[in-house]
């Protein structure tokens, strides 16, 4: 498993089995891969690495500014898997959109 104990995107922890990486050494650069939780709401998040020695330090250049005065490291985007119906009527109709990343708060959609 290497030196990772946990990898978080915001408050959502990645499954330990989804992290692929080697041992962490001083001044090394390692890549950790994580499958996002399908229930995680789209938005901007910071990433936190819990490693054998404690919590990893990250270079400030990993963060990007948003239009607001907030800095973040990772963006979770919504994913559309299906839209029904696949064709519409001239006078309009309701659509159902299926996917992940949508908020449970209808005012945010």
How many whole angstroms separate alpha carbon 71 and alpha carbon 65? 5
How many whole angstroms separate alpha carbon 72 and alpha carbon 60? 10
> What's the pTM value of the predicted model, to 2 decimals?
0.61
Asked whether residue 1 carries a pLDDT value surpassing 60, the answer given is no
The per-residue pLDDT of the chain, averaged, comes to 78
Asked which of 17-26, 43-52, 64-73, 92-101 is least confident by mean pLDDT, the reply is 17-26
Asked whether residue 102 carries a pLDDT value surpassing 80, the answer given is yes
pLDDT at 70: 73
How many whole angstroms separate alpha carbon 44 and alpha carbon 18? 21
| ω into 85 cis (within 30 of 0) | yes
How many whole angstroms separate alpha carbon 48 and alpha carbon 70? 17
Question: What letter does residue 41 receive in the DSSP assignment?
Answer: P
Q: pLDDT tier at 66 (50, 70, 90 boundaries)? A: low
pLDDT at 81: 92
- Contacts of residue 53, defined as CB under 8 A and 6 or more positions apart, other chains included, come to 3
Of 100, 8, 88, 23, nearest to 55 (Cα)? 8
pLDDT at 29: 65
């Amino acid at each position: 498993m290497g030196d990772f104990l946990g990898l978080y995107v915001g408050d959502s922890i990645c499954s330990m089995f989804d992290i692929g990486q080697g041992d962490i050494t001083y001044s090394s650069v390692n890549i950790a891969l994580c499958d996002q939780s399908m229930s995680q709401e789209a938005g901007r998040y910071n990433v936190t690495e819990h490693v054998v020695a404690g919590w990893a330090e990250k270079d400030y250049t990993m963060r990007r500014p948003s239009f607001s005065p907030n800095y973040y490291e990772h963006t979770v985007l919504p994913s559309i898997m299906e839209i029904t119906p696949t064709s519409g009527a001239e006078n309009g109709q309701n659509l159902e959109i299926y996917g992940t990343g949508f908020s449970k708060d209808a005012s945010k959609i």
